């Protein structure tokens, strides 16, 4: 049954998450250290920190979770586990889809726990913290989709590694615009959230197909 195999896939991802947990912690540590650096660089002016807080937290979250994107397919591709799973009866498109979901649950959601602590450093008002968490849930899902596209694209790239992160950052521009927009008092909160949801759905729709195309291409030329 396909559904059993899907559960099996998630079980394996959970095991791998558990054995890679040090990676995750070092990414979160990177996030906090860069926040400290920002605070020291800007000076401890409370009003200033409050004004720029959400923007800084969002961009640092983005940068530190792009750190983990290189690992997205690399291991499974190098030891051909992708081929084995495919031979087990799951199409590449579905593998990508499951991989995106598991990346979201096992890599992005733990970051969520660190957001309230980060907000304390910037003395952000409670409604901004709420906005940040809500937009980050949607935004990190988009990040997982984009990460899947860029990581699969980078599988055979031996010369220019930074190009994958460049593409993630490029397509993330609208997400940042709308996420920060939720703090604007005159903009409509609900419609911004549904805009973000719309973008998430678009990328969720196209990323299985494009990532699977890249993976097939990479397997063929390995």
Partner 1 sequence: MLLINNLSFSRNDNIIFQNLNLSLSNRSITQIRGKNGSGKTTFINVVLNFLESKTGEIFWEGKNIKKNIFNFYNKTTFIMDHNTCTRKMTVLDNINFWSRLSSSKLTKDEIVLLLETFNIQKYQNIKTMYLSSGEIRKLELLRLILEQKKLWILDEPYNHLDDLSIEILNQTFIDHINKDGVILFTSHLKPSIDNLEVIDL
Partner 2 sequence: MFNFLINPYKFNKFVDIIFKPLVILTLLVLIAGLFLVYFSPLDYQQGLTVKIMYIHVPSAWLALLTYAIMTIYSIIGLAFKIPFSFIINKAIAPIGAVFTILCLFSGSMWGKPMWGTWWVWDARLTSVAILFIVYLLIIFLNHAFENREVREKTIAIFILIGSINLPIIKFSVDWWNTLHQPASISKLASPSIDISMLQPLLVMTVAFSLVGLIIAILRIKAEILMRKNYL
Partner 3 sequence: MSLRFQRLILILTTLVMLGAALLLILFNTKQNIVFFYTPSELIENKITSGVKVRIGGYVKKSSIKKKSINSYEFKITDNKNEILIFYNGILPDLFREGQGTVIEGSIIDQDTVNASKVYAKHDENYMPASIKKELEKNNQWKKEYK
Give least dist CB 191 to partner 3, A.
4
Residue 119 binds partner 3 (CB under 8 A): no
SS3 label, residue 43: coil
Looking at the Cβ atoms of 11 and 177, the one nearer to partner 1 is 11
Residue 215 binds partner 3 (CB under 8 A): no
Residue 181 binds partner 3 (CB under 8 A): yes
DSSP 56-121: HHHHHHHHHHHGGGGHHHHHHHHTTHHHHHHHTT--HHHHHHHHHHHHIIIIIHHHHHHHHHHHHH
**Maximum Cα–Cα distance across the chain:** 59
Quick one: which of 8, 163, 197, 201 contacts partner 2 (CB under 8 A)?
163
Number of residues that bind partner 2 (CB under 8 A): 22
- The closest alpha carbon to 125, from 47, 50, 49, 193, belongs to 50
Of the ranges 7-15, 71-79, 87-95, 144-152, which one interacts with partner 3 (CB under 8 A)? 87-95
Footprint on residues 199-218 left by partner 2 (CB under 8 A)? 202, 206, 210, 213-214, 217-218
Residue 187 binds partner 2 (CB under 8 A): no
Site residues, partner 2 (CB under 8 A): 149, 153, 156-160, 163, 166-167, 170-171, 173, 202, 206, 210, 213-214, 217-218, 220-221
């Amino acid at each position: 049954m396909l559904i059993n195999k899907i559960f099996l896939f998630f079980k394996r991802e959970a095991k791998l998450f558990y054995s890679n947990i040090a990676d995750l912690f070092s990414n979160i540590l990177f996030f906090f250290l860069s926040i400290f650096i920002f605070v020291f660089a800007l000076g401890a002016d409370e009003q200033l920190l409050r004004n720029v807080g959400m923007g800084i937290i969002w961009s640092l979250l983005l940068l530190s979770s792009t750190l983990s994107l290189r690992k997205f397919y690399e291991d499974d591709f190098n030891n051909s586990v992708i081929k084995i799973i495919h031979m087990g009866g799951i199409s590449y498109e579905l593998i990508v889809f499951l991989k995106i979901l598991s990346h979201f649950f096992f890599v992005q959601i733990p970051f969520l726990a660190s957001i309230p602590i980060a907000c304390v450093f910037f003395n952000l008002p409670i409604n901004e913290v709420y906005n940040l968490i809500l937009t980050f849930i949607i935004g990190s899902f988009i990040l997982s989709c984009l990460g899947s596209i860029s990581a699969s694209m980078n599988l055979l790239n031996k010369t220019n590694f930074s190009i994958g992160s460049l593409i993630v950052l490029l397509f993330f521009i609208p997400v940042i615009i709308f996420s920060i927009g939720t703090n604007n008092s005159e903009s409509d909160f609900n419609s911004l959230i549904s805009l973000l949801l719309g973008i998430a759905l678009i990328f969720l729709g196209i990323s299985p197909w494009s990532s699977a195309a890249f993976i097939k291409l990479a397997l063929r030329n390995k």
